Amino acid sequence: MISTAIKSLVTGKPSDTFVSEDQRNATTTSAQQHQQREDLHPGSLAVVCASLPKDAREAGIRRILDKIVESEEDDVIQVAAETLIALDRLDDVSKLPPHALEPFLCEYGALNKHLSLQPTTREEAKHLQLLTRLYGDYGQEGMSSDVCVALAERHVADRLYPSLEERMGLLQMALQYGTTKDPATGAFKRDARRIEEIEGKAKVLEFQIRLENALRLKSKRMQSMAAGEGQGQGQQIDHTLVQELEQAANDLRENVKSISDLYNDIARPHRFWDICLEIIAWARPQRGSSDDQESYADASAVPRELWDCVIIDAVQDVLSRANETHTRRAIVAAACAAVAEIAPKVFTESAANNEIAFPMCHVTCRLETLASGQWGVMFNSPSVNEREQAEDDDVADCLLQSVRGNCPPVQRAYDRLLAAEHRRMHDEEIGKEMHKALHSTKLRLRMLRSALRVMHAWDAATGGGGHGFSGTGDDRNFDYSSRKSFARASIGDICLAYSRVAKELVGASQEQNVAKELAVAFERLADRFLR
């Protein structure tokens, strides 16, 4: 009777036209058929309730709920709750007494099964969402948080998938419930460990959402190119690859993945180097006392390889443009742009962590060898015009943009690369290939010019007013004011050291004038710092 009255008052129809998903798939029994016929009989409770005006029906619902609350009968309360849930009157459900509502929601939401991450139906999930509200309203925020997390990570049994955005919303709710109230004092306290865990889950889900979008965008671009839209008109595409992209995107949409699955199965195979590096930056190993040098070298090898891929793909993108004569300037500019776009997302001010996420020395050497024409694999194309050289400031400005105007990390990279051979031969980040290239006078002079650009930027950052770095984006000058005079004196000493390196190159036959000019330029800049 209660169920019939509530349904008729809510729907305005005497017949039970609204049924749940589970009921829709079930066979109607003879008893149910008989009840439906009774509900349609003139003068029946269902017909009378349905015939009332809308405002009267709403008042009738409130009156019924008040009587149900007063009754304190668990069976009656649970019947009302089930009916209201089927009708999506969830706000009304939350007004029912919790002593009867909690066991009902736990049972019909299959809480124990759910917390063990077994597949959950849509109807079960609806009951559990109400359970989180109930726990939150009555001071059990920790339980609310646990249920929200389980809902966000749930496998589904009826192929009605919650979207990734809905899962993210549940994790955000879990964070909101991540505070617990002390029943004695009423004070709230944060479970720092729990919150950190949930934030980690949310970050992984954020990567998953980005990868799904990246896969669909890549597929769309390939299909547009095949259709003759934009650059690369009428290009042949790999339809199998397009299908793989769509399947991978659908899989990400339907199933929650671990961070290792996202990296190994999606980001790396599909060449999303920026997301690969961001994953490493977020989940990078911390160098502690227990870490030996060998393990650190192994950990830093992967980002070095990824940065090589970033640069190579940028160069190949330029070389793939048909009917163009490609200059070294354009190639280097494209490589620098790619680095400057990704690096600020992974750069940290922690030197130890940054060596993993953004191997500055390696990236610097790659860009400088590319600009000097000594990364030979780049210039096998006959369309490359070697006569138009790269700009002297391209690499230095790119690196300064990459670290958001923070000069010291860039200077340290050039210091390592320009060091004497006996000093750099034990540097794990400088491999055999780089060691060989670093013997080149041409390359060393180019790096000195870049280092001079960095030192001028440092001069400006410390209040010297020299040739300031003019970058874009989130550039900022770092505060050296606390020990400004000491800092400038130290930087002046660095300039003098670079001057000595330049003088060592004066003996080079064709480049001695350039070396002399650089030595003088560093000495003049040192004077500015040492005043």
Q: Kindly tell me the sign of the dihedral angle through the C-alpha atoms of 285, 289, 293, 295.
A: negative
What are residue 326's phi and psi, to 5 degrees? Answer: -95, 125
Do 52 and 162 have their domain in common?
A: yes
Mean pLDDT: which of 144-158, 354-368, 405-419, 501-515 is highest?
405-419
pLDDT tens for 180-220 read: 666 666 666 677 888 999 999 999 999 999 999 999 999 99
- Would residue 21 count as lying in a domain? yes
Contacts of 315 (CB under 8 A, 6+ apart): 331, 334, 335, 370, 378
- Would residue 333 count as lying in a domain? yes
For 26: left if phi > 0, alpha if psi spans -120 to 50, otherwise beta; the answer is beta
- Would residue 206 count as lying in a domain? no
Cα–Cα distance between 180 and 146 in angstroms, integer?
Answer: 12
Decide: 199 and 174 in contact? Cβ < 8 Å. no
Lowest mean pLDDT among 67-81, 111-125, 174-188, 508-522: 174-188
* Domain that includes residue 17, residue range: 2-189
Do 64 and 177 have their domain in common?
A: yes
pTM of the model: 0.78
How much is the pLDDT for 157?
Answer: 64
Do 15 and 142 have their domain in common?
A: yes
Decide: 307 and 277 in contact? Cβ < 8 Å. yes
pLDDT tens for 419-455 read: 887 777 767 677 677 777 888 888 999 999 999 999 9
The residue ranking higher by pLDDT, 191 or 132, is: 132
State how many domains the chain has: 2
Of 167, 189, 211, which marks where a domain is finished? 189
Which one-letter DSSP state was computed for residue 15? S
Residue 297 one-letter amino acid: A
Do 480 and 356 have their domain in common?
A: yes
Query: Residue holding tokens 């809902």?
Result: 151
- Would residue 98 count as lying in a domain? yes
Residue 191 one-letter amino acid: D
Do 150 and 279 have their domain in common?
A: no
Residue 474: is it exposed, middle or buried by C-beta count within 10 angstroms (0-12/13-18/19+)? exposed
- Would residue 514 count as lying in a domain? no
Average pLDDT, the chain: 79
Do 11 and 155 have their domain in common?
A: yes
Residue 37: is it exposed, middle or buried by C-beta count within 10 angstroms (0-12/13-18/19+)? exposed
Of 461, 484, 507, which marks where a domain is finished? 484
DSSP H or E segment with residue 188: strand 188-190
Q: Kindly tell me the sign of the dihedral angle through the C-alpha atoms of 317, 319, 320, 323.
A: positive
Do 181 and 286 have their domain in common?
A: no
Reference 42, options 34, 33, 51; nearest CA is: 51
What are residue 188's phi and psi, to 5 degrees? Answer: -95, 145
Do 279 and 171 have their domain in common?
A: no
Q: Is the pLDDT of residue 363 over 50?
A: yes
Do 309 and 451 have their domain in common?
A: yes
Residue 510: is it exposed, middle or buried by C-beta count within 10 angstroms (0-12/13-18/19+)? exposed
- Would residue 72 count as lying in a domain? yes
Cα–Cα distance between 512 and 464 in angstroms, integer?
Answer: 29
Do 317 and 430 have their domain in common?
A: yes
Of 128, 161, 189, which marks where a domain is finished? 189
Do 185 and 279 have their domain in common?
A: no
- Would residue 306 count as lying in a domain? yes
- Would residue 264 count as lying in a domain? no
